[in-house]
């Protein structure tokens, strides 16, 4: 089926019900929907504003292709997760959509709040070709825009279980749970600014769950990709993003000091970090405990420009496979004013690329 909504404002949706604008594409829980046609949804100049609901003013579930062009998520509030939009599965494109002043909040001291503007997850109960249905969200911009004022509000500290993955209260702007997918596709000459220079804590941040550590296939990570020739200026924190992050094209400019505990790869374009990157280790604290560490690989035509690059080992990891590393492969370029490797804190390897200090 096809759904089309234009020039509409959804406002005044209230707490006490999970129902905002919810899309259930099929009644397929517990089944494989590989032979079902995806529900296609077009939202044109649609705004979600001043809503207070549970799990997103927009909620997408099952086998769905949704394209939202124009419009906004403005000043929405939800309980726990997905302040503006909650994406459980489906392929979603937000094109030139504004996200501002959305919040995910709770008063709990036992569970987390996350995804102040957008929360992306997977669905294990609905299969597609025998595999879990995965939420895949792209933020596509053809004009300059700023996402600001998106946040979480919770007294909880520590991590909570998200079905064998684990999450901190985090992701004021975006939270990727389990092995969900996200991307920024920014047109040439266009800049997306996330947060402001005064952002603190998790305001306008990007975060993910700590990966599942199943013994049969190892950690499973979320993925975030920067596409397109344009620029993302990131004022929010990336410190609690633990997944795979790839810069393929354009520029991704991190303005705050970044303690990186994820897997960062730059294959094209530029990753810039004017206040430095520290690749570190931490005890994951998950059910099958392991050491999470920051890694940086530069290859292809990728370039990393950083004021200071540090390798640390706060968790005192002894397994060399759990230590941070920097790998500069053929075609890749790393420009760093300073490089500091602490004792027993990993390696910097030049394997055909270029290192400028």
pLDDT digit string, tens, across residues 176-204:
999 999 999 999 999 999 999 999 999 99
- On whether the CB atoms of residues 256 and 205 are closer than 8 A, the answer is no
Q: For residues 261 and 162, which has the higher predicted lDDT (pLDDT)?
A: 261
Contacts of 173 (CB under 8 A, 6+ apart): 99, 116, 117, 118, 147, 150, 194, 195, 204, 205, 206, 236
**Confidence check: pLDDT of 23 > 70:** yes
What are the start-end ranges of the H helices in 134-210? none
Q: Which residue has the tokens 């354009």?
A: 250
- On whether the CB atoms of residues 100 and 149 are closer than 8 A, the answer is yes
**Confidence check: pLDDT of 356 > 70:** yes
Question: In this predicted structure, which of 78-87, 132-141, 158-167, 266-275 has the lowest mean pLDDT?
Answer: 158-167
pTM above 0.75, yes or no: yes
Contacts of 258 (CB under 8 A, 6+ apart): 237, 238, 239, 273, 275, 276, 277, 278
For the chain, how are helix, strand and coil distributed in percent, rounded to 5?
0, 55, 45
What is the mean pLDDT of the segment spanning 57-65?
92
Give the C-alpha separation, 141 to 162, whole Å: 31
pLDDT confidence bin for 76, thresholds 50/70/90: very high
Question: In this predicted structure, which of 208-212, 217-221, 291-295, 350-354 has the lowest mean pLDDT?
Answer: 217-221
Let me know the angle formed at the C-alpha of 296 by 142 and 116, rounded to the nearest 5 degrees. Answer: 50
pLDDT confidence bin for 281, thresholds 50/70/90: very high
**Confidence check: pLDDT of 237 > 70:** yes
**Confidence check: pLDDT of 275 > 90:** yes
Q: H/E element holding 11?
A: strand 2-11
């Amino acid at each position: 089926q096809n759904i089309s909504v234009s020039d509409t404002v959804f406002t005044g949706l209230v707490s006490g019900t999970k129902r905002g604008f919810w899309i259930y594409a099929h009644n397929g829980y517990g089944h494989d929907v590989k032979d079902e046609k995806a529900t296609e949804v077009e939202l044109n100049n649609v705004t979600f504003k001043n809503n207070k609901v549970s799990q997103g003013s927009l909620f997408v579930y099952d086998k769905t292709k949704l394209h939202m062009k124009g419009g906004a998520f403005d000043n929405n509030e939800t309980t726990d997760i997905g302040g503006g939009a909650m994406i459980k599965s489906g392929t979603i494109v937000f094109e030139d959509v504004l996200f501002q002043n959305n919040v995910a909040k709770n008063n709990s001291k036992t569970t987390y709040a996350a995804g102040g503007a957008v929360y992306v997850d997977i669905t294990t109960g609905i299969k597609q070709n025998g595999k879990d249905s995965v939420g895949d969200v792209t933020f596509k911009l053809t004009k300059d825009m700023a996402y600001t004022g998106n946040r979480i509000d919770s007294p909880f500290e520590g991590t909570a279980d998200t079905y064998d993955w684990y999450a901190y209260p985090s992701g004021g702007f975006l939270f990727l749970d389990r092995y969900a997918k996200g991307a920024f596709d920014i047109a040439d000459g266009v800049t997306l600014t996330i947060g402001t220079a005064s952002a603190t804590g998790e305001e306008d941040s990007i975060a993910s769950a700590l990966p599942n550590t199943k013994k049969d296939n190892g950690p499973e990570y979320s993925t975030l990709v920067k596409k397109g020739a344009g620029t993302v200026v990131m004022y929010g924190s990336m410190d609690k993003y633990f997944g795979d992050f790839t810069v393929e094209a354009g520029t991704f400019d991190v303005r705050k000091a970044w303690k990186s505990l994820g897997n960062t790869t730059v294959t094209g374009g530029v990753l810039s970090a004017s206040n430095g990157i520290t690749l570190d280790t931490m005890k994951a604290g998950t059910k099958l405990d392991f050491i999470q560490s920051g890694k940086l690989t530069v290859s292809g035509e990728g370039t990393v420009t950083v004021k200071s690059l540090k390798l640390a080992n706060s968790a005192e990891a002894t397994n060399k496979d759990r230590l941070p590393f920097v790998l500069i492969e053929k075609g890749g370029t790393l420009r760093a004013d300073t490089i500091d490797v602490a004792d027993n804190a990993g390696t910097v390897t030049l394997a055909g690329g270029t290192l400028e200090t």
